[in-house]
């Protein structure tokens, strides 16, 4: 079975899908607090889609981390700089 849509129907569907994706991204950023420039370990793992073990390994390899007592935070800009240096 083949479905044929008018151009305006295709555009409307594209707009609806785009709006839904944008809402989901905003929802997840708000709930994970990933909009902050500084992330904790759990947020960093989710932000980079890596495991805690991988994050620990990257820290040992030089991933910049901010330590305040027992608390550790990661600056998103520094994460991107560190990763981009690895890609070269």
Distance CA 73, CA 24 (A): 25
pLDDT in tens, 36-70: 789 999 999 988 999 999 999 999 999 999 998 98
Percent of the chain scored above 70 by pLDDT? 90
> How many CA atoms, within 13 angstroms, populate the side-chain half-sphere of residue 79?
17
User: pTM of the entire structure?
Assistant: 0.60
Q: Contact 38/73 with Cβ under 8 angstroms?
A: yes
Same domain, 43 and 26: no
Same domain for 43 and 73, yes or no, is: yes
Which residues form the domain of 75? 37-88
Residues 13, 52, single domain; the answer is no
| Residue 41 and residue 27 share a domain | no
* Cα radius of gyration rounded to whole Å, the chain: 19
Q: Provide the token pair at 75.
A: 């600056």
């Amino acid at each position: 079975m083949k479905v044929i849509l008018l151009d305006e129907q295709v555009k409307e569907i594209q707009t609806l899908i785009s709006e839904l994706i944008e809402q989901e991204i905003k929802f997840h950023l708000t709930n994970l607090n990933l909009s902050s420039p500084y992330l904790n370990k759990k947020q960093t793992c989710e932000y980079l889609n890596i495991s805690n073990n991988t994050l620990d390994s990257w820290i040992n390899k030089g991933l910049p981390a901010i330590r305040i007592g027992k608390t550790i935070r990661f600056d998103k800009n520094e994460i991107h700089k560190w990763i981009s240096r690895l890609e070269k």
